[in-house]
């Protein structure tokens, strides 16, 4: 395939339509998403306020280490403004990965994750838009590789996680230790075979392309690590099979927000549970558990290298 003219994708200004089109092709975006972005571009190009803020936001996007660096408004999400901030970072990310020897196809697959973020917005809001600019920055910084069914991110072991204390021993993981954080994108069933394959890919990928990140373990911080799920779901279910790969770890000040966002597509627990849909086993057990007076909490797990 013809590569986009990456020199014309800059942090100074929005891309020209033909450059945007070839970038969308390179990312493998569905024609529907390419059209959405092509249609969004003229209004943004015509807005002097956008021209003024774009270079500043692009700089902030690449350099700010605070995860919550942007708080997109609904209007910004619907305008796709932040998609263009993200796209402007792709040439740098691509150069960094090429310098590591990472193949172009893997870079394209990584950039192509963008389409799922549009799906996510639609699941939550019923219309197309893009607001996952803080999450996409992890990709823009070249820290996350989608490998098969899972995503794997190079991180230091977070200070808000702890391994359970065992008397007289030093825990395997301390805050700051190099680890690989495992992410589970919403793209169909999480079969054990697909996960085995993804972990096998990660075990080859990181020593080869990120040798300086001598990771001590894979970790996962998620609602999927709450061990109470195993009280309700059978061991052979995909969720429990996945959970059982990991040894339990603790998350400080854990809450249940991501249960609501990933299982019901709403940001927080609603005041009234009676009208919540009970169409899948997971949704039913989640509500039943709370109705019995219990609570869910995100947790962590780890797999030593």
Interacting residue ranges for ligand COA, rule: CB under 6 A: 184, 186, 189-190, 222-224, 233, 237-239, 258, 262-263, 280-283
Cβ distance to ligand COA smaller for residue 81 or 259: 259
Cβ distance to ligand COA smaller for residue 97 or 223: 223
Cβ distance to ligand COA smaller for residue 26 or 296: 296
Shortest CB 106 distance to ligand COA, Å:
21
Cβ distance to ligand COA smaller for residue 180 or 282: 282
Cβ distance to ligand COA smaller for residue 14 or 282: 282
Shortest CB 171 distance to ligand COA, Å:
23
Shortest CB 199 distance to ligand COA, Å:
15
Q: For residue 87, what are its two tokens?
A: 């796209």
Pairing of strands 178-183, 217-222: parallel
Distance (Å, rounded) from C-alpha 112 to C-alpha 169? Answer: 44
Shortest CB 252 distance to ligand COA, Å:
17
Residue corresponding to tokens 């999450």: 135
Shortest CB 216 distance to ligand COA, Å:
21
Distance (Å, rounded) from C-alpha 137 to C-alpha 149? Answer: 20
């Amino acid at each position: 395939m013809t590569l986009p003219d990456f020199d014309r994708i800059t942090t100074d200004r929005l891309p020209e339509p033909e450059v945007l089109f070839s970038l969308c092709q390179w990312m493998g975006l569905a024609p529907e998403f390419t059209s959405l972005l092509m249609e969004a571009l003229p209004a943004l190009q015509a807005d002097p306020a956008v021209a003024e803020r774009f270079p500043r936001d692009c700089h902030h996007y690449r350099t700010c280490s605070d995860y919550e660096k942007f708080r997109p408004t609904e209007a910004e999400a619907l305008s796709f403004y932040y998609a263009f901030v993200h796209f402007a970072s792709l040439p740098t990310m691509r150069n960094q990965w090429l310098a590591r020897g990472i193949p172009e196809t893997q870079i394209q697959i990584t950039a192509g994750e963008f389409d799922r973020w549009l799906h996510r917005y639609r699941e939550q809001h019923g219309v197309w838009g893009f607001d996952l600019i803080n999450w996409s920055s992890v990709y823009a910084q070249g820290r996350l590789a989608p490998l098969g069914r899972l995503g794997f991110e190079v991180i230091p072991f977070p200070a808000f996680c702890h391994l359970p204390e065992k008397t007289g021993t030093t825990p395997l993981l301390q805050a700051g230790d190099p680890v690989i954080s495992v992410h589970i994108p919403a793209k169909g069933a999480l079969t054990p075979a697909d996960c085995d394959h993804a972990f096998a890919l990660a075990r080859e990928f990181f020593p080869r392309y990120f040798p300086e990140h001598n990771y001590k373990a894979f970790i996962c911080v998620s609602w999927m690590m709450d061990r109470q799920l195993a009280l309700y779901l059978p061991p052979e279910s995909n969720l429990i099979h996945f959970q059982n790969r990991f040894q339990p770890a603790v998350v400080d000040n854990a809450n249940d927000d991501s249960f609501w966002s990933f299982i019901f597509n709403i940001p927080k627990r609603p005041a009234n549970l009676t009208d919540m849909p009970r169409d899948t086993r997971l949704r039913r057990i989640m509500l039943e558990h709370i109705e019995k007076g219990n609570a869910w909490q995100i947790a962590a797990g780890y797999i030593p290298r």
